[in-house]
Amino acid sequence: MGWRETVRKAEELVEKVMKGNDASHDAAHVWRVRDLALSLASEEGLSSNPHSLHIVELAALLHDIGDYKYARNPSEERIVENFLEEEGIDEEKKTKILGIIKGMGFKDELAGHANGEMSPEFGVVQDADRLDAIGAIGIARCFTFGGSRNRVLHDPKILPRSDLSKEQYMKKDDQTTINHFPEKLLKLKDMMKTKAGRSRAERRHKFMEEFLKEFYEEWEGKA
């Protein structure tokens, strides 16, 4: 079976499994992350290695299947593993892809469980996912997700949580959408793993800072 056929099947799986998600974590998010990851891989000099690009593309495509925020049953965590086995992906590639997916989450890095090997493939996929969480797209996704969970936009009485643990981060009670910026999104620029990712994150981070400045001024009636 050809590589492009495997990619096509992965795309079909993404559309099927993520169909019910809100627009902050839908198939369009996955396509953006895949494109960003391949672009970063090119900038990081991985283009000459098809083996690396295969790992990057499949990990990017499959990274949000079984996301704890949307998982409807525990067996969804097995979907990616089953897919890779059915597609005959060799053991080394499969292990790398699963390792990237398992270790790339913000909550896992909070807990000190980030991917241990820090491979170039891991760096570009994680950076691509984090780039899509910041900047103009990141702002749109943040408010889309907050709206889907009926969160208030902002409450000055509810302060952002500092020194978050993994458990605190996953527990979203009484949180406002705007607090997600200081609690996570503004931290991502300095958590990028690749030079290419850091370079792109600068502009997106600056855009978020400008947005927040305007948001708070409008909230307080100063603008």
The full set of domain ranges for the chain reads 3-219
Q: Among 7-11, 25-29, 66-70, 132-136, which stretch is predicted with the lowest mean pLDDT?
A: 66-70
* Location of structure tokens 């990017």: 60
45-90 residue pLDDT tens: 999 999 999 999 999 999 999 776 766 565 666 899 999 999 999 9
CATH topology of domain 3-219: Hypothetical protein af1432 (1.10.3210)
182-208 residue pLDDT tens: 999 999 999 999 999 999 999 999 999
Q: Which residues of 80-119 are buried (b: 16+ CB within 10 A; e: fewer)?
A: beebbeebebeeebbebbbbbbebbbbbebbeeebbeeeb
Q: Who contacts 89 (Cβ-Cβ below 8 Å, separation ≥6)? A: 6, 58, 97
Report pTM: 0.91
